Amino acid sequence: MPVRGLACKQPGGRKLAAAAGSSAGPTTQGSEEDKQYMLQALALARRALGKTEPNPAVGCVILKDGQVIGEGYHPKAGMPHAEVYALRAAGQQAEGATAYVTLEPCNHYGRTPPCSQALVAAKVTRVVVGVADPNPLVGGTGVTTLEKAGIKVVNVGGDVEAQCYEVNRDFMERMKAQAQSQ
């Protein structure tokens, strides 16, 4: 059965893909506007570089009606993730909004609850993802959860996707190696 999800490959050749059987069809590549807001999210992620290990540095921007209504980044391991801070800032205005997240939202319980579930609960209607999360605990399941909830998921693509990968290169390589060893 074909795998459905984002059709764009991350650097290194891995597709950002939802699990087979997703109710939503393949998603598309982001627009120039999407790339600009993703760059804003990437700037937020960079604020946390060197402070989040073993987690990645992630940024999130929430946009509604052309206005940024929430921003956040993951400040350090054990603290809420970028999506949570951005959704808190947006409050109820997040309903119907677009979230720009530099890394595929997590979909597992660790020290924090799944960000994919927070986005679903906030009733965002669209999520633009910077790059796939190669963490074996995520591996496309964040996208699957969002799509099953009726949220449109878009891969930012292009050079901005490459920048989202590069900001967390060590994490990305470590997770890819971990996935290959399983």
| Tens digits of residue pLDDT in 78-106 | 899 999 999 999 999 999 999 999 999 99
Q: Is residue 163 part of a domain?
A: yes
Q: Where are the beta strands (DSSP E) in the chain?
A: 5-9, 15-17, 59-64, 67-73, 98-101, 126-129, 152-155
Nearest to 117 by CA among 106, 125, 102: 106
User: Is there a domain that residue 7 lies in?
Assistant: no
Measured CA to CA, the distance from residue 116 to residue 127 in angstroms comes to 10
Residue 16 located in a structural domain: no
* Residues with catalytic roles: 83
- Alpha carbons 50 and 46: distance in angstroms, whole number: 9
Name the strands in the sheet holding 152-155, side by side, starting at the edge strand that comes first in the sequence.
67-73, 59-64, 98-101, 126-129, 152-155
pLDDT digits (tens, 9 = 90+) for 35-70: 999 999 999 999 999 999 999 999 999 999 999 999
- At position 26, the amino acid (one-letter code) is P
Q: What residues make up the domain containing 157?
A: 28-181
CATH code at position 89: 3.40.140.10
Per residue in 162-175, pLDDT (tens digit) is: 999 999 999 999 99
Query: Which residues touch 75 (CB under 8 Å, ≥6 apart)?
Result: 47, 48, 51, 52
In total, how many domains does the chain have?
A: 1
